[in-house]
Amino acid sequence: MIVQQGWRRKSGGFASALKISPLRRRIQFFQPTMGFRFGILLSVRSSPSSWRILADGIIGAALCCIAIARAAPPQTGGTNYQAAKAVQSAGNTMSQQTPGNSAPLPPRTGLNTVVLDPAHGGTDQGARGTEGISESDEVLQFATATKKALEAQGFQVILTREGNDNPSFDDRSARANAQRGAVFITMHIASTGLTGTARVYVEPDAPQANNITGLIPWDRAQTPFLSLSRKLGDLVQQELSKRFKGSPDTLQTAPVRQLRTTAAPAIAVEISSVSVKERAELDRMVPGVADAIARGLVEFRPTYVVPTIPVPGESVQP
């Protein structure tokens, strides 16, 4: 109020000095810019008074300072803040290093899942014996007992079939391929062979393919995992030979269809045979086969490494 009265009485006073002072020139700069932008907020008329022009300029300058302060990077925290930023920066740099420039990470062991495949099923009864024994029925009994033995050892077990259905070969393999940290075991009963014995098979070595795309064909999915499959097969075969006299001490190779398209360690276990005189002879083998497979997998688990995407032409090593 006092300022307003003094302004009115002194025609050559503050108002005149304002016209020629540097402050007046600054206000004239803010008037067409900041004053216009904040005119609606401040209810400024098209012909504002000198004191309102000054207020517009001060408020506009203050808002500019606030915007600049918010845009500036934080400088708080002193030495501790800078040290923390340095550690974070070093961690980011290490994470971006290429494998050739940094120490390799320790391999991750992670065998958690076993996919059990009772062969055949549905209209495909497999091998058939003279006493009416069918492979598809008997092998399901072996798989069910093996599932219980594996679960007792802490494994998660997936059956490719639990009833009288017949999934395709690719569907059976896909159950294992969809898992992380899994092995695949397909179970069969032979039509011939020494009764009361059991054998393990793995896929034979495939000839080197001239593949310029760098992609692994579906029907060669097992190739990178052959070394792991042999290690698993040897351990299971050793356990079987302890329990069933006449069983071989080492695994064998055979082109088993389910194994070829499995991108995981994979073996086939074959029991002899459907040609037994009495079904009870096969029934007596069920606990021993289940226990042998479970113990073989327990031995294999510490050496199992969760595979990464293999380089074409190379094998995944245990």
Among the ranges given (15-19, 69-73, 269-273), the one the predictor scored with the smallest mean pLDDT: 15-19
Question: In this model, does residue 135 exceed pLDDT 50?
Answer: yes
Q: What pTM does this model have?
A: 0.64
Q: How many CA atoms lie within 13 A of 287 on its CB side?
A: 2
In this prediction, residue 206 carries a pLDDT of 75
What pLDDT is stored for residue 220 in this prediction? Answer: 87
- Whether 146 and 297 have beta carbons less than 8 Å apart is answered as no
Q: Quick one: tokens of 313? A: 């032409």
Is 280 exposed, middle or buried (CB count within 10 Å of its CB: 0-12, 13-18, 19+)?
Answer: exposed
Query: Which has more confidence, 231 or 87?
Result: 231
DSSP type of residue 34: I
Q: Which residues pair with residue 268 across a beta bridge? A: 186, 201
Alpha carbon distance 318, 227 (integer Å)? 7
Q: Report the distance separating Cα 150 and Cα 59, nearest Å.
A: 76
Residues 6+ apart with CB under 8 A from 259: 184, 186, 201, 202, 203, 222, 229, 266, 267, 268
pLDDT at 263: 94
CA 134 to chain centroid? 40
CA distance 239 to 299: 10
Report pLDDT for 130: 78
**Omega of the bond prior to 21 within 30 degrees of 0, cis?**
no
Axis-axis angle for helices 22-30, 50-71 (nearest 10): 70
Contact indicator for 138, 274 with CB cutoff of 8 Å: yes
Q: Where in the chain is the domain with CATH 3.40.630.40?
A: 113-205+217-303
Name which of 72-76, 196-200, 239-243, 264-268 the model is least confident about: 72-76
For all residues of the chain together, what is the average pLDDT? 76
Tell me if 309 sits within 8 A of 214, measured CB to CB: no
Which homologous superfamily is 113-205+217-303 in? Zn-dependent exopeptidases (3.40.630.40)
Write the single-letter amino acid at 177: N
Structure tokens at 268: 């086939």
159-181 per-residue burial string, b: 16 or more CB within 10 A, e: under 16: bbbeeeebbebeebbbbbbebeb
Query: Residue 88 above 90 pLDDT?
Result: no
Which one, of 113, 288, 260, lies nearest residue 201 by Cα?
260
- Residue 306's pLDDT is 66
Give the model's confidence band at 51: pLDDT under 50 very low, under 70 low, under 90 confident, else very high.
low
Highest mean pLDDT, choosing among 14-18, 56-60, 101-105, 254-258: 254-258
Residue 303 tokens read as 């050496």
pLDDT score at 211: 60
Closest CA to 189 of 203, 174, 199: 199
Q: What are 274-318's pLDDT values in tens digits?
A: 999 899 999 999 999 999 999 999 999 998 876 555 444 455 554
Note every long-range contact of 54-58, with CB atoms under 8 Å and residues 24 or more positions apart, other chains counting: 54/27, 56/30, 56/31, 57/26, 57/27, 57/29, 57/30, 57/31
Q: pLDDT tens-digit profile of 182-202?
A: 999 999 999 999 999 999 999
Tokens of 104: 């390799």
pLDDT digits (tens, 9 = 90+) for 143-168: 999 999 999 999 999 999 999 999 99
Residue 157: enclosing H or E segment and its boundaries? strand 156-159
pLDDT the model gives residue 70 = 60
Q: What's the full length of the chain, in residues?
A: 318
